[in-house]
Amino acid sequence: MSPAAFHADALRSYRLFESTDLDETRELISRVMQPHALVPAGSGSGRSYMDFVKLGGLGLGTIGFGDAMRVDVKAVDGYYLLMFCVVGEAEVRTMGRSMQVNRKQGVLCAPGQAFDAHLSPGSEQFVLRIDPVALELQTGLTAGELASVVPVGGVRLRGWMQQLELVASSAELLACARSNPGVAVQLERLLIDLFATGHAGQTAQSSGQAARPVSPAFIKRAEAFIKEHCSEPLELLAIANAAGVSVRTLHDGFQRFKGVSPMQFVRQLRLERARDALREAPANVRVAEIALDCGFTHLGRFAMAYKAIFGESPSDTLRVR
């Protein structure tokens, strides 16, 4: 059964160029992507075009060539390149392997990797530029954890594809994002989280590993805030405000992705820091000083929690450091 057509009608309003000149086509695409070689299989006089729009650190676009075309990129420079075919098909070599790219299967090329694609006549590609810093900060994923083959027609990425198509086909949504940077950032975060969740799960399944839940962006923001202010008095509302979500959403998110409540996460982090400090403390430091420095205000409760986690009292750790 063939997958449904992917609609990107709203992107047509953001057309960068149309050209029948190969050198001009190469130059104009390079301004948005990067320098590359274009080698036509035919006369090279077919009509080429590119639509492109930015949403925060994401770039969404379509590229079409009239002729069969080879696109040779020596190294993708500073971004993840995700590509699948809206029309036609391609044979792509990247990340040390060759693969077929079409409406059911896409390809992900990591920064610094070569990308060599042979495109069928009249093909149109949907391309997505993903900022690697945004991807890693939001999801914790690196290039080694993401497969080069992206099953865009699969079940795990269906939610991401639906949201991607909604953005690419809604003129009103794109116009709102273009005029409101806050909306653009929210769409960027949503698309990155949906892609990482679905693709990381697919990658883990194909390698025989258990799928690792990918924490959404607000969990990462909450973790960063907690780590920065761990030794200070912390309240749940302050953590939720820093993460940009409600207290209920924060609590449910931590339970789902961390297996603990936000305040349990705070206590675990404080206990780990206290243990490290006790192991490295000079001889004249007292347990109470370290407990206070790590955010504990009740020495008895600190000692009980410490022994329950590490199987020894804080003074025992200090004694055998």
Per-residue pLDDT at 208: 46
What is the pLDDT averaged over residues 32-53?
A: 86
Residue 136, judged by CB atoms within 10 A of its CB (0-12, 13-18, 19+), counts as middle
Phi and psi torsions of 204, nearest 5°: -65, -40
Phi and psi torsions of 201, nearest 5°: -65, -40
SS3 235: coil
Average pLDDT over the chain reads 87
Q: Encode pLDDT of 267-276 as tens digits.
A: 989 999 999 8
Predicted confidence band at 4 (pLDDT cuts at 50, 70, 90)?
A: confident
* CATH numeric code, 215-321: 1.10.10.60
Per-residue pLDDT at 35: 86
Per-residue pLDDT at 80: 93
Q: Note whether 68 and 41 are within 8 A (CB).
A: yes
Predicted confidence band at 174 (pLDDT cuts at 50, 70, 90)?
A: very high
Predicted confidence band at 207 (pLDDT cuts at 50, 70, 90)?
A: very low
Q: Per 3-state DSSP, what percentage of the chain is helix, strand, and coil (rounded to 5)?
A: 45, 20, 35
Statement: the pTM of the whole predicted model exceeds 0.85: no
Q: Where are the domains of the chain?
A: 9-206, 215-321
* CATH numeric code, 9-206: 2.60.120.10
Q: Encode pLDDT of 219-275 as tens digits.
A: 889 999 999 999 999 999 999 999 998 898 888 888 877 778 899 899 989 999 999
What is the pLDDT averaged over residues 181-193?
A: 90
Per-residue pLDDT at 237: 94
